[in-house]
Structure 1
Amino acid sequence: MMKGIDRKFTLWALAWPIFIEVFLQTLLGTVDTLMVSEVSDDAVAVVGFSNQLFNALMTLFITVASGAGILIAQRIGAKREEDARTIAIMSVTVSGAIGLGISAILYLWPQAIARVLQMPDNLMPLADTYISIAGGGMVLTAVMAAFSTAIRNTGNTKGPMYVIIGVNIVHVVMNYGFIYGELGFPQWGLTGVAVSTLASRVIASAVLLVMFLHAFGRKITLPEFLRFDRKLFGEVMRIGWPLGVNMSCWVFTQLLIYTFIAMLGAAELAARTYMNTLESFCFMLGYSFALALQIQVAHLFGASRTRDAYQATFRAMWIGLAVVTVNALVIYLMGSWLLGQFTDDAEIIAIGVTLLGMNLLLQPGKMINMALGNALNAVGDTRFVMFISLGSMWAIAAGCSYITGISLGWGLVGIYGCMIADEYLRGFLSWRRWRSRIWMTRQSNVPADGGTAASGAIQA
Structure 2
Amino acid sequence: MPAIIENFLQMMVGLSDTFLVTRISLSAVAAVSLSNNIIAVYQALFIAVGTIVASLYSRKLVSGNVKERQQIVDSSLKLTLLIGLSLGLLSIVLGRPIVHFFGARGDVLKLSYEYLALVGGGIILLGLMTTFGSFLRAHGDSKTPMFASLFINLFNLVLSAVFIFVFHFGVLGAAMGTIIARILGSIYLFNKIRGDRPSRKFWRQKMDSELIKLTFPAAGERLAMRLGDLIIMMLVISFGEDVFAGNAIGESITQFNYMPMFGMATVTVVMIAHEYGGKNIENIQRYLRKTIMMSLLMMVVIGGILLLLSHPLSQLFTSDLIAIKSSQTVILFSFLAIYFVAGANIYTAAFQGIGNAKLPFYATAIGMLVVRTGTGVCLGYFLGLGLAGVWIGVLIDNLFRYLFLKYKFKKACHN
Amino acid at match of 1:68: V
The partner residue of 1:25 within 10, 16, 29 is 10
* Correspondence 1:104 to 2:84: no
1:327 correspondence with 2:297: no
Match for residue 195 of structure 2? 215
Residue 48, structure 1, aligned to residue 33, structure 2: yes
Over 3 Å counting, the alpha-carbon distance change for 1:158 and 1:227 in structure 2 is farther
Q: Is the Cα–Cα contact under 8 Å of residues 17 and 174 in structure 2 kept in the other structure?
A: no
Q: Is the 8 A contact 1:317 1:367 kept in 2?
A: yes
Q: Does 1:371 align with 2:346?
A: yes
- 8 A contact 1:66–1:149 mirrored in 2: yes
The C-alpha deviation readout for 1:375-431, integer Å capped at 9, x for no partner, is 111101211111111112222111111112221223333322221111111111111
In structure 2, what is the equivalent of residue 448 of structure 1? none
The one of 205, 230, 233 aligned to 1:228 = 205
Tell me what 2:403 maps to. Answer: 428
Matched, 1:401 2:376: yes
Aligned sequence identity (%): 21
Q: Cα–Cα, structure 1 residues 351 and 120, in superposed 2: closer, same or farther, change >3 Å?
A: closer
1:348 Cα deviation (Å)? 5.8
Deviates more, 1:138-147 or 1:290-299: 138-147
Report the Cα offset of residue 187 of structure 1: 5.7
Shift in alpha-carbon separation, 1:275–1:69, aligned structure 2, 3 A? same
Inter-CA distance 47–412: structure 2 relative to 1 (3 Å threshold): closer
CA distance in 2, matches of 1:409, 1:334: 28
Q: Distance in 2 between matches of 1:174 and 1:303?
A: 46
CA distance in 2, matches of 1:104, 1:349: 36
Give, in whole Å, the separation in 1 of the partners of 2:109 and 2:399.
Answer: 41
- Work out whether 1:248 is the aligned partner of 2:223: yes
Normalised by the length of structure 1, the TM-score is 0.80
Aligned position for 1:203? 184
Aligned position for 1:260? 235
Which of 291, 296, 310 pairs up with 1:316? 291
Question: Does the aligned pair in 1 maintain the 2:368–2:397 contact within 8 Å?
Answer: yes
Asked which structure has the greater CA Rg, the reply is 1
Where does residue 77 of structure 2 map in the other structure?
A: 92
Where does the alignment leave 5 or more consecutive residues of structure 2 unmatched? none
Q: How does 1:438-453 map to 2 (within 5 A)?
A: 438=412, 441=415
SS of the residue corresponding to residue 136 of structure 2 reads: helix
CA RMSD of aligned residues (A): 3.0
Of the structure 1 ranges 67-76 and 345-354, higher mean CA displacement relative to structure 2 is found in: 345-354
Structure 1 residue 121: Cα displacement: 4.9
Corresponding residue SS for 1:223:
coil
Contact 1:285 1:320 in 2 (8 A): yes
Q: Is the contact made by 2:15 and 2:253 (CA closer than 8 Å) also made in structure 1?
A: no
Give the superposition deviation at 1:352: 5.4
How do 1:71-220 residues align onto structure 2 when only pairs under 5 Å count? 71-108=56-93, 110-111=95-96, 119-122=104-107, 126=111, 129-181=114-166, 188-212=169-193, 214-216=194-196, 220=197
Number of paired residues? 415
Aligned 8 A contact 1:90 1:227 in 2: no
How far 1:91 moved relative to its partner?
0.5
CA deviation profile, 1:70-113 (whole Å, cap 9, x unmatched): 11122223334542342122101221122123333434555565
Letter in 1 for 2:366: G
Extract unaligned runs of 5+ from structure 1: 1-15, 442-460
**Helix, strand or coil: the match of 2:220?**
helix
